[in-house]
RNA sequence: GCCGACGUAGCUCAAUCGGCAGAGCACCCGCCUUGUAAGCGGGCGGUUACGGGUUCGAUUCCCGUCGUCGGCUCCA
């Protein structure tokens, strides 16, 4: 699976979500639709699902033949393929994978029927008497509590086994009827990875083999091509090629260095957002990067979030922590004086840089880092203002994302988990309904993550779908019923009495680092003109055109365009090639004819060639494109 | 953090069994003065991630650290 798919699929609340997402993604690919209804059934009923499930069994047979002492566990179909987890005597090598794949083709060619048989738990135990993982699964099935992924089951399932050739597996199916239905030229083993038994890091680490399977070779080729395409657009590769950012072993893992070009794109993105914030009733604040331990005790971070916080430093015998969040500081601004109901709503915004400890293995380019800047804001309002405030912030969020050309969203509404929730139930109810109503009014399709909210409040998460049909969470709008209590936030109402305000935490782009990563991939590095670090490059054909090129460049700069002159003593063709690879929107070729006529010959990075035009005409065109944010 | 793979020039990658560390691109210099995706020649560039071990000799084999990649786990 590609990294972003992994991120997108990464479940918040256990395996059920994961499997639902798989079905969802497949549905998108085959139908192009985004309706979430009944998709689980659709994938599980599909021919591809049966092919992949059956390929997993065939693979398990091949692995068991290679390692007779192997213990096998589970092997479900997933998006784009399947996997199977094994407990093996030694690590698998790439050569093993080749051998296994070759043997799979032989087994398929044997045209074996898949035969289902329903058995009792005791029969199953006899069949799998040497397979401890299977025995554990059988126990789970017999008790009727959980399926093989650990999901609770409504009713006690029947226990069935499937056999083909020499291989028997505990399995509820479905499968194809004969191995001949698996196209041997449309399967491929992709990689080996470690995976904990039942996803529990305290349990044994198994070896997972990932494979892909399709109905025909063309589909397989298309899938492999999609993976190549994804690699080409990978923000880590483009970050290097376009000189946008880097990391350094010397500085430390998960800490980003923004280079001039990446820094400029980020600056432009931030400027746009800040202008919009000012135009939408936000006030900007600035707060420190560290705070005394007492603050974090009050906020509860030391109790609940400490494992993500860095060790404190001592200043004048006091402990100070680097901030993992901005909220306590904004709250202190709120608390700096007595607030009247007339002061509300207050919208305190800050591009706040936070540092969080992330386990080394999860760091990933710009998308998972240890230091990042949130476009953070905290909204404080009265109960009567709350519904409108939610409406406003959601629409503002959509406005901002659309400003970056991101037009497809998927929203998730996470609701209260009665087992763990702070604050009174009535407020939860009101808040959840306000969120729901705002989603409805905005006309956004959304999924409800029942019980998926954090203990302190319900929330909306907005995920963005990029050009490669992958989903990313950027925006979050969260109620917080915990911090106002902890910090005893109040405002004086019309009645002269203190009241508790609603507090809403929101980040629209999420973090600048992650957003930039998504943005780079969304445009495959070809930023719209308004964001492009270099908007136009002047390409003189011969050295004698340098003066004219510089003159034009100056003229364009006075119009506010970001322009460079390629002065190198290279062929024009070479300069064009380099400009295209740098994904510069406008190439302006100037030779004798242009210098003579006061024109520039425009070429676009798409290869399109509008040709010679007066300078004023080009300026008008560029300004039009910038205005339109294309 | 866990499993596995990897780390050689700014970038992409070679280097047979343990035997003088290489190529292309980039960069610098020179020639060419160019019409819509790479002109030609020359030069510079290395503590082979870092530390230790084995060996006459280590990019190569072993151990540790750091980092990267793919997963898993985690994600207030």
Together in a domain, A334 and A381? yes
A111 — phi, psi (to 5°)? 50, 60
Q: Which of residues 253-282 of A touch strand B (CB under 7 A)?
A: 253-254
In a domain, A129, yes or no: no
CA-nearest of A401, A286, A266 to A348 is: A286
CA-nearest of A29, A39, A31 to A469 is: A29
A41 — phi, psi (to 5°)? -60, -45
CATH number of the domain enclosing A82? 3.30.980.10
pLDDT band at A45 (very low <50, low <70, confident <90, very high): confident
DSSP secondary structure letter of residue A120: -
Together in a domain, A329 and A473? yes
In a domain, A150, yes or no: no
Interatomic distance A566 CA / B40 C1' (Å): 20
Q: Are A159 and A170 in contact (CB under 8 A)?
A: yes
User: In sequence order, which residues have a C-beta less than 8 Å from that of residue A602 and are 6 or more positions away?
Assistant: A586, A587, A588, A589, A609, A610, A611, A612, A613, A618, A621
A334 — phi, psi (to 5°)? -60, -40
Together in a domain, A283 and A338? yes
Q: Is the pLDDT of residue A11 over 70?
A: no
| A196 CB neighbours strand B below 7 A | yes
Together in a domain, A171 and A107? yes
CATH number of the domain enclosing A365? 3.30.930.10
In a domain, A230, yes or no: no
Q: Is the pLDDT of residue A588 over 70?
A: yes
DSSP secondary structure letter of residue A456: T
DSSP secondary structure letter of residue A158: P
Q: Which residues pair with A161 in a beta bridge?
A: A117, A170
A241-261 pLDDT, tens digit per residue, is: 999 999 998 899 999 999 999
Mean per-residue pLDDT, A276-290: 97
**Domain coverage including residue A357:** 239-287+323-522
More confident position, A467 or A353: A353
More confident position, A3 or A379: A379
DSSP secondary structure letter of residue A187: E
pLDDT value of position A150: 56
- Domain boundary (A476, A499, A522) is at A522
Q: Which of residues 439-458 of A touch strand B (CB under 7 A)?
A: 454-456
| A364 CB neighbours strand B below 7 A | yes
Q: Look at chain A and report how many structural domains it folds into.
A: 3
Q: Which long-range contacts (CB under 8 A, 24 or more apart) does A117-123 make?
A: A117/A160, A117/A161, A117/A162, A117/A163, A118/A158, A118/A159, A118/A160, A119/A159, A119/A160, A119/A161, A120/A159, A121/A159
Together in a domain, A379 and A473? yes
Q: Is the pLDDT of residue A2 over 60?
A: no
Q: Which of residues 92-121 of A touch strand B (CB under 7 A)?
A: 93
Together in a domain, A446 and A577? no
Interatomic distance A78 CA / B40 C1' (Å): 54
pLDDT value of position A155: 66
| A47 CB neighbours strand B below 7 A | no
- Domain boundary (A494, A522, A550) is at A522
A61 classed as catalytic: no
Q: Which of residues 391-450 of A touch strand B (CB under 7 A)?
A: none
| Paired tokens of A232 | 């080409």
Q: Are A615 and A552 in contact (CB under 8 A)?
A: yes
Peptide bond just before A174 cis, omega within 30 deg: yes
| A593 CB neighbours strand B below 7 A | yes
Q: Distance between CA atoms of A252 and A88, rounded to whole angstroms?
A: 35
A211 — phi, psi (to 5°)? -135, 165
DSSP per-residue letters across A273-295:
HHHHHHHTT-EE----SEEEHHH
CATH number of the domain enclosing A597? 3.40.50.800
A459 classed as catalytic: yes
In a domain, A297, yes or no: no
Q: Distance between CA atoms of A262 and A235, rounded to whole angstroms?
A: 11
The protein footprint on chain B, as nucleotides within 7 A of a CB, is: 1-5, 7, 11-12, 26-27, 30-39, 49, 66-76
CA A252 to chain centre: 23
Interatomic distance A568 CA / B20 C1' (Å): 38
Q: Are A452 and A476 in contact (CB under 8 A)?
A: no
Q: Are A415 and A388 in contact (CB under 8 A)?
A: no
Interatomic distance A84 CA / B48 C1' (Å): 38
DSSP per-residue letters across A568-584:
SSS-HHHHHHHHHHTT-
pLDDT value of position A523: 93
Helices A512-522 and A260-279 cross at an angle (nearest 10°) of 110
In a domain, A93, yes or no: yes
A311-326 pLDDT, tens digit per residue, is: 999 999 999 999 999 9
Together in a domain, A506 and A558? no
DSSP secondary structure letter of residue A91: -
Together in a domain, A426 and A352? yes
| Paired tokens of A487 | 């910090």
DSSP per-residue letters across A325-337:
-SHHHHHHHHTTS
Together in a domain, A459 and A404? yes
Interatomic distance A246 CA / B46 C1' (Å): 22
- A595, HSE (Cβ side, Cα atoms, 13 Å): 17
Interatomic distance A201 CA / B74 C1' (Å): 10
pLDDT value of position A188: 94
Together in a domain, A377 and A479? yes
In a domain, A387, yes or no: yes
Q: What is the dihedral of CA A297, A301, A307, A308, to 10 degrees?
A: -130
A502-511 and A611-614 as β-strands: parallel, antiparallel, unpaired?
Answer: unpaired
Peptide bond just before A345 cis, omega within 30 deg: yes
In a domain, A555, yes or no: yes
Nearest nucleotide (CA of A454 to C1'): B76
A575 classed as catalytic: no
CA A574 to chain centre: 37
| A81 CB neighbours strand B below 7 A | no
A482-511 pLDDT, tens digit per residue, is: 999 999 999 999 999 999 999 999 999 999
Question: A155-164, A389-398, A573-582: lowest mean pLDDT where?
Answer: A155-164
- Domain boundary (A522, A552, A572) is at A522
Interatomic distance A256 CA / B54 C1' (Å): 39
In a domain, A591, yes or no: yes
Q: Which long-range contacts (CB under 8 A, 24 or more apart) does A587-591 make?
A: A587/A536, A587/A537, A587/A539, A588/A536, A588/A537, A588/A538, A588/A539, A588/A552, A588/A618, A589/A539, A589/A541, A590/A538, A590/A539, A590/A540, A590/A541, A590/A545, A590/A548, A590/A549, A590/A552, A591/A540, A591/A541, A591/A542, A591/A545
pLDDT value of position A236: 93
Together in a domain, A379 and A460? yes
Mean per-residue pLDDT, A128-148: 83
A371-381 and A446-449 as β-strands: parallel, antiparallel, unpaired?
Answer: unpaired
Together in a domain, A207 and A94? yes
């Amino acid at each position: 699976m590609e990294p972003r798919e992994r991120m997108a699929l990464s479940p918040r609340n256990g395996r059920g979500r994961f499997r639902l997402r798989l079905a969802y993604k497949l549905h998108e690919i085959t139908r192009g639709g985004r309706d979430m209804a009944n998709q689980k059934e659709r994938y599980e009923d599909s021919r591809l699902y049966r092919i992949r499930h059956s390929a997993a069994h065939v693979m398990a047979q091949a692995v068991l033949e290679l390692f007779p002492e192997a213990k096998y566990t589970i092997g479900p179909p997933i998006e784009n393929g399947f996997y199977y987890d094994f407990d093996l005597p030694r690590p698998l090598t790439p050569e093993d994978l080749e051998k296994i794949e070759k043997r799979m083709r032989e087994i398929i060619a044997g045209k074996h029927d898949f035969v289902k048989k329903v058995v009792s738990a005791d029969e199953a135990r006899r069949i799998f008497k040497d397979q401890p993982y299977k025995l554990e699964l059988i126990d789970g099935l017999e008790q009727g509590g959980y399926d093989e992924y650990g999901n609770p089951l409504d009713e006690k399932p029947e226990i069935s086994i499937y056999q083909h050739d020499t291989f028997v597996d505990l399995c509820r199916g479905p499968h194809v009827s004969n191995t001949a239905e698996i196209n041997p030229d449309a399967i491929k083993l992709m990689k080996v990875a470690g995976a904990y038994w039942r996803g529990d890091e305290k349990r044994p680490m198994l070896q997972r083999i990932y494979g892909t399977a399709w109905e025909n070779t063309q589909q397989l080729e298309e899938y492999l091509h999609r993976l190549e395409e994804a690699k080409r657009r990978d923000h880590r590769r483009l970050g290097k090629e376009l000189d946008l950012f880097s990391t350094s072993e010397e500085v430390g893992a998960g800490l980003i260095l923004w280079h001039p070009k990446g820094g400029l794109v980020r600056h432009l993105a931030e400027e746009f957002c800040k202008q919009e914030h000012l135009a939408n009733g936000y006030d900007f604040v600035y707060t420190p990067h560290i705070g005394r331990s007492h603050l974090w005790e009050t906020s509860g971070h030391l109790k609940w979030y400490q494992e993500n916080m860095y060790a404190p430093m001592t200043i004048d015998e006091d402990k100070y922590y680097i901030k993992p969040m901005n909220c306590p500081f904004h709250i202190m601004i709120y608390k700096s004086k007595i607030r009247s109901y007339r002061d509300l709503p207050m919208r305190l915004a800050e591009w706040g840089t936070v540092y969080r400890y992330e386990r080394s293995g999860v760091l990933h380019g710009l998308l998972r880092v240890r230091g990042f800047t949130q476009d953070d804001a905290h909204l404080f309002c009265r109960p009567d203002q709350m519904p409108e405030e939610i409406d406003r912030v959601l629409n503002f969020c959509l406005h901002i994302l659309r400003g970056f050309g991101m037009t497809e969203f998927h929203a998730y509404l996470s609701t209260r988990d009665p087992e763990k929730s702070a604050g009174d139930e009535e407020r939860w109810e009101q808040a959840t309904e306000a969120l729901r109503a705002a989603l409805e009014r905005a006309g956004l399709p959304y999924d409800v993550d029942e019980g998926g909210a954090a203990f302190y409040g319900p929330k909306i998460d907005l995920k963005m779908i990029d050009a490669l049909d992958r989903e990313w969470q950027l925006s979050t709008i969260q109620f917080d019923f915990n911090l106002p209590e902890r910090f005893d936030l109040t405002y004086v109402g019309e009645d002269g009495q203190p009241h508790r305000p609603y507090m809403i935490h929101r980040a629209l782009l999420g973090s600048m680092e992650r957003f930039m990563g998504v943005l780079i991939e969304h445009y495959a590095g070809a930023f719209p003109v308004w964001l492009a670090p270099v908007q136009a490059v002047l390409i003189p054909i011969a050295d004698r055109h340098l003066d004219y090129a510089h003159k034009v460049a100056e003229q364009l700069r006075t119009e506010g365009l970001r322009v460079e002159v390629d002065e190198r003593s290279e062929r024009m063709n070479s300069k064009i090639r380099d400009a295209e690879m740098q994904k510069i929107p406008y190439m302006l070729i100037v030779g004798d004819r242009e210098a003579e006529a006061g024109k520039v010959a425009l070429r676009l990075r798409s290869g399109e060639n509008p040709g010679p035009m007066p300078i004023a005409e080009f300026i008008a065109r560029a300004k039009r494109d910038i205005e339109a944010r294309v």
